[in-house]
Amino acid sequence: MIKCIIVDDEPLAVAQLEKYVERIPFMENVGSCSSAAEAMDILSNSNVDVMFVDISMPDINGVQLVRSLSHPPMVVFTTAYSEYAIDGFKLDAVDYLLKPIGFEDFLKAANKIHRNYTMALASQPMTPEQGEGVCHDCLYVKSDYRMLRVPIDSIKYIESMSEYVRIFIDGNTKPVVSLLSMKKIEEALPKDSFMRVHRSYLVNLDKIKEISKMRIVYDGNIYVPIGDMYKENFFDYIEKRFVGKPRSL
């Protein structure tokens, strides 16, 4: 459920927006207020995903309110004055609604909010503990403006490339590329099956078939290097499962 607040000093405008929000199945109004001070109080005590903010309010107006927030939620500006639109979009507002607001325009804004919210969720890997209805044996990652389901047991290894990761999957000739840090995806994966073996590589231990010359070999000619910082931990894991006397690799 997308949680929103309404900030407007006109009671009729507040009442109208409240009714509109009630008609949107994926939105919930967690507070309505008539001033920036009231809004900041709600924001400090509640999780808010989007604000519907009137620009022309006394004392602190809507633009000033948004600028004052270090981590503002999504914003939809509302006003009776079209000349304020440029100021609103300079702050990366999701939308701008001109009063009197019709439900059709409100619905379009709500759908934009939903798309942005979904894309934000898709940019983070999710595990079952992080939300109801999430797959118990997979991750959801954002790749090329799509949300992809990646079964955990299909992952062979993951390569870090600056701000991106490449996820190599059984049966796929091309990796899944996602804007994620290695740390975030490592935290989302089960620690008993995945291990960091290099600052740029994370491997699925269950997929290892061959180790040669400080490298994990895949498909004959693809390999992952074992870094000096990680080799002790990795070979401790191998030695515990080694049948016979371990030899130098």
Average pLDDT over every residue of 221-239: 90
pLDDT for 26 equals 86
* pLDDT-above-90 percentage for the chain: 42
* pLDDT-above-70 percentage for the chain: 85
| Band of residue 172 on the pLDDT scale cut at 50, 70, 90 | confident
Is 42 in the same domain as 6? yes
Average pLDDT over every residue of 182-196: 90
Is 186 within a domain? yes
pLDDT for 133 equals 37
Query: Which residue range(s) make up the domain with 148?
Result: 130-240
Is 116 in the same domain as 13? yes
H-state helical runs in 159-230: 182-188
Is 16 in the same domain as 117? yes
Whether the model clears a pTM of 0.75, i.e. scores above it, the answer is no
**Owner of token pair 């005590």:** 45
Is 117 within a domain? yes
Average pLDDT over every residue of 182-199: 91
Q: What is the mean pLDDT of the chain?
A: 84
Average pLDDT over every residue of 27-43: 92
Is 100 in the same domain as 135? no
Q: What is the CATH number of the domain that holds 180?
A: 2.40.50.1020
Q: What is the CATH number of the domain that holds 72?
A: 3.40.50.2300
Is 97 within a domain? yes
Which one, of 92, 33, 20, lies nearest residue 60 by Cα?
33
Is 97 in the same domain as 199? no
- pLDDT tens readout for residues 53-92: 998 888 888 888 888 887 888 999 998 876 655 554 556 7
pLDDT for 78 equals 92
Is 246 within a domain? no
Is 160 in the same domain as 230? yes
Is 249 within a domain? no
Specify the higher pLDDT residue, 52 or 115: 52
Tell which of 103, 122, 141 closes a domain: 122
| Band of residue 130 on the pLDDT scale cut at 50, 70, 90 | very low
As to burial, measured by CB atoms within 10 angstroms (0-12 exposed, 13-18 middle, 19+ buried), residue 213 is exposed
Is 142 in the same domain as 115? no
Is 17 in the same domain as 93? yes
User: For residue 131, is pLDDT > 50?
Assistant: no
Specify the higher pLDDT residue, 56 or 100: 100
151: enclosing H helix or E strand: strand 146-151
Average pLDDT over every residue of 3-20: 96
User: For residue 49, is pLDDT > 80?
Assistant: yes
Specify the higher pLDDT residue, 181 or 120: 181
- Please tell me whether residue 157 adopts helix, strand or coil conformation: strand
Which one, of 60, 23, 21, lies nearest residue 32 by Cα?
21
Tell which of 101, 122, 143 closes a domain: 122
- How far apart are alpha carbons 62 and 43 in whole angstroms? 14
